[in-house]
Amino acid sequence: MPGGFSNNEGTALRARDGAFKVFVVSNTIAMCSSLVVVFCFLWAWKDPMTFMLLQLAWGHQLTVIACLAMLVSLMTAVYVVVAEKCFWLAVTVILICCGAPVVVCAILGWDVAFLPLGPFTN
């Protein structure tokens, strides 16, 4: 638990911090969207001959969302734990995480967030 856990009260020590709340929400979004992607792709193999392009598109979009949510989760977890003692380190991690999507888009193109179905859609 970022920031620690109280064994006496059974709660997170930083539960009232804004950064901790952002961590919890982004971590939940990352986990849930990742699970939905797994089930989309597992369900698609039930009948691979009629694999739905819609399932592929949903899986792609949710994978992008999950990756971005994981970055936010990492940034906020590091901020909660490290910022009080070593602010420059927290800022460095945040800058690196903010740069990651830019690097991905620079390598793969800015339309990486969208799955072009092109001639396959009616």
By percentage, how much of the chain surpasses pLDDT 90? 39
Phi, psi of 22 (to 5 degrees): -65, -40
Token pair belonging to 21: 């709340």
CA distance 26 to 70: 7
Mean pLDDT across the stretch 34-43? 85
The vertex-41 CA angle with 27 and 52, nearest 5°, equals: 125
Q: What is the pLDDT of residues 91-120, one digit of tens each?
A: 999 999 999 999 988 888 877 777 655 544
* Averaged confidence pLDDT in the chain: 84
Q: What is the pLDDT of residues 75-97, one digit of tens each?
A: 999 999 998 899 999 999 999 99
**CB-count exposure of residue 109 (10 Å: 0-12, 13-18, 19+):** exposed
CA distance 93 to 9: 31
Residue 90: closest CA among 16, 2, 30: 2
Cα 1 to Cα 6, 21, 23, 50, 77: the distances in Å are 10, 12, 10, 43, 9
Q: What is the pLDDT of residues 1-16, one digit of tens each?
A: 788 878 888 788 888 8
* Predicted TM-score (pTM) of this structure: 0.78
CA distance 83 to 87: 4
Q: Does 22 score more than 60 pLDDT?
A: yes
